[in-house]
Chain A
Amino acid sequence: MGMTLAERILARAAGRESVTAGEFVVADIDLALLHDIFAAQVFDLLRDVGVDNVFEPDQTVVVIDHLVPAPTAEAAAIHHRIREHVSRLGITAFYDAGEGICHQLLPERGHVRPGMLIVGTDSHTTTYGALGAGGTGIGTSDMVYALATGRLWFRVPETIRFELAGGLLPAVSWKDVILHLVGRFGADVAQYRAIEFAGPAVTKTDMSSRLTVANMALEMGAKFALFAADEVTDAYLRDHGGTDAGPFGPDSDASYEAVHEISLSDLPPQVAMPHEVDRVGPVSDVEGLAINQAFIGSCTNGRIEDLRVAAEVLDGQHIASEVRLLVVPASRSVLQEAMRTGVLASLVDAGASVLAPGCGPCFGGHGGLLGPGERCIGTHNRNFIGRMGSPEAEIYLASPATVAASALVGQIADPRQMETASG
């Protein structure tokens, strides 16, 4: 019987001809990711168990991205400890504060290739499925084991397949698609499971959109969120210092737990409402709600494509006076390209505050938090209670176009109205 993408990835990593959903395997890790929230703790533990090297120093990627620039003396001290460990262990793939968010840097700097098995001490490690790689989050003890031995156990997951067809309406993006899917199928539909995104609509999507979808698919509980690798993947690999990988997809006779066929052609812009990611509806449900802050950034939507869409909505205009607009490029390269192409000028002229590349206020650590009673609309991936500061604040999640349109008028707005207004 044929294999799904998840089965193919785990079979290869386990050195097996084939594996089937439900089996347990011990698999070789191709890449391990640690960021500044857990890296120091993992490296301390590793030293405590007497391990003074990691399985492959160049297959271990360490990124300082969450607390950037260090908002407290404690954060600065943790960063210092991480740098010491990194140099002691001879880790070469180290991205210090200001380079960007881990889930942006790994694909962008050419670390991710189709078919790889990647573990990270971060739940959104699923993002790498955009390139056909099996990325998944693990805890700190598992990471210590993986770093010491280069291996880890896995249960081969069942797969849910979404067959997507139809073109998107103007001003609707793949962020709207994934918000819709999370809302329609629920936050735990893919618990223990892998998701495959396929169908005619998917073959046409660019890598930026695939990264958005694979990132946010974690909010459905997914262990892996996978796209088959195709020409779009190869073009991305070439643009980011790599070579073609060739096609990598599931076998045509693979078996799925469920297959959902969905048409995207009537989908309006979507918004996730407080305080659950799967409380999703069309933007018309919440249009007109006054906002205090708008946030464009995060590993979900902080790429140049996202900033460009926002700049197009805002170009030549100014955001509403009662709104703070925060723009956080996902990486230094994104920031540089925004500078080169005039995107940055449009955003800053429109009233945006631009923060250092990194997670910014996404997880509520620093850099633009919300006070009690405040309302924010952002392009990120979670709207849990208290996620961006006060537990009495409200967070709405939407696409870059919807967030930019909302910043312009000071209330949640439908980006399609802006298009008509300006043209």
Chain B
Amino acid sequence: MASDNLLTGRVWRFDHDISTDVLSPGAYAVDSVEVRKSHTLESVNPAFAPRVEPGDIIVAGRNFGCGSSRETAAENLKVLGVACVAAESLSRLFMRNAIAVGLPILVCAGVHGAFTDGDGIEIDLGSGRVVNVETGSSLQGDPLPEEMREILAAGGILAVLRDYRGK
């Protein structure tokens, strides 16, 4: 279990109030997932969608994922391979939807100021500890409760449901 909780990756840093319109632009809402994901965050960083690699980690400011209830905001990051979003705070519906689609999240005070783009980052989802590999500095986030980590480890709430039905 411990190893499932340990994530290492490279940082993409974003500011405060990144909305669901930025994460999943309304104009592509009904397009295929291939089209949809290629527009993720393009209005704030057009290099992100083409260059993000599986295992990369998003570090952001306050109120990440604010706006509508659209689940595609979290799903786009998941299908692009983002391993975790660590932010100063997350909007309520984004947090719910991230867990529902199996995208790990961590609320961590001070994280926005502690990283720049491209830094190496280590996150222990179990303890909530976040380390900047470049500087060696570490921060303490709010660890997710075990129930949430189990949903994430299964790959999202529909995967949990399939397992539960399979029993």
Contact = CB atoms under 8 A, between A and B. Distances in A.
Given A140-B71, A153-B147, A188-B63, A49 B100 contact: no
Interface string B93-117: 1011101110000000000000000
A45 interface: yes
Interface in A133-176: 137-142, 144-145, 148-149, 153
Nearest to B162: A49
B92 A144 contact: no
Given A144-B158, A149-B161, A139 B97 contact: yes
A24 interface: yes
Nearest to B99: A153
Interface residues of B, number: 28
Contacts of B165: 49-51, 148
B20 to A, nearest CB: 11
A26 interface: yes
Interface residues of A, number: 24
A123 B145 contact: no
Interface in A188-223: 188, 191-192, 221, 223
Given A24-B145, A153-B148, A148 B161 contact: yes
Contacts of A24: 145, 147-148
B133 interface: no
B91 interface: yes
A58 to B, nearest CB: 22
Contacts, number: 68
Contact of B161 (A121, A144, A153, A191): A144
B148 A191 contact: no
Given A123-B69, A188-B63, A192-B92, A145 B161 contact: yes
Interface string B54-95: 000000000100101111000000000000000001011101
B23 interface: no
Contact of A145 (B71, B92, B148, B157): B157
Interface of B: 63, 66, 68-71, 89, 91-93, 95-97, 99-101, 145, 147-148, 151, 156-158, 160-162, 164-165
Given A138-B93, A139-B97, A145-B100, 14 more contacts: A24-B147, A121-B69, A123-B93, A138-B96, A139-B71, A139-B96, A141-B156, A144-B157, A144-B158, A145-B157, A145-B158, A145-B160, A153-B99, A188-B66
Interface of A: 24, 26, 45, 49-51, 121, 123, 137-142, 144-145, 148-149, 153, 188, 191-192, 221, 223
